[in-house]
């Protein structure tokens, strides 16, 4: 499982001009589910993202999590995070999980974030989405449940 996590002052996602999810201060999470991802990968991502200390404390240091600042998460599914562009110019997506299972994993991620007590807005799985965000910092973190990076 892979994620691009951005600290934002606000973000929203729209499908066909209709806003499906929006947040103020929090994390915009682009989440990609790969072949072979399971409960361990899901646990890792939920724990890591909800506990990621990327928000400023009273001294201006990144020492606070989204939970500690009362922020929200906007979770957007993105299979292209498993794109492989090492050969040629057109990426291959053979390492992305098939859509039905990936959608179930995405929804389980959202449910687990909510269980932690964080408000979680979403896009629409598999839809063409327009995502708007104000990246605060900017702060952008790459995560991989297999710890490739």
Active site residues: 78-80
Cis peptide before 68 (omega within 30 of 0): no
> DSSP string of 3-26?
EEEEEEEEEEEEETTEEEEEESSE
Residue 56 φ/ψ, nearest 5 degrees: -70, 140
Among candidate residues 145, 135, 147, the one with its CA nearest the CA of residue 32: 145
């Amino acid at each position: 499982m892979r994620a691009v996590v951005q600290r934002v002052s606000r973000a929203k996602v729209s499908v066909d001009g209709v806003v499906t999810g929006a947040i103020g201060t929090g994390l915009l999470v682009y989440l990609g589910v790969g072949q072979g991802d399971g409960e361990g990968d899901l646990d890792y991502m939920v724990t890591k993202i909800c506990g990621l200390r990327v928000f400023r404390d009273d001294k201006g240091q990144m020492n606070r999590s989204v939970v500690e600042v009362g922020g929200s998460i906007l979770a957007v599914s993105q299979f292209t995070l498993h794109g492989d562009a090492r050969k040629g110019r057109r990426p291959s997506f053979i390492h992305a999980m098939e859509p039905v299972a990936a959608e179930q994993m995405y929804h389980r991620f959202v449910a687990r974030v909510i269980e932690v007590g964080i408000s979680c807005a979403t896009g629409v799985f598999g839809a063409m989405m327009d995502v708007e965000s104000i990246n605060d910092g900017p702060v952008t973190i790459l995560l991989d449940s297999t710890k490739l990076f």
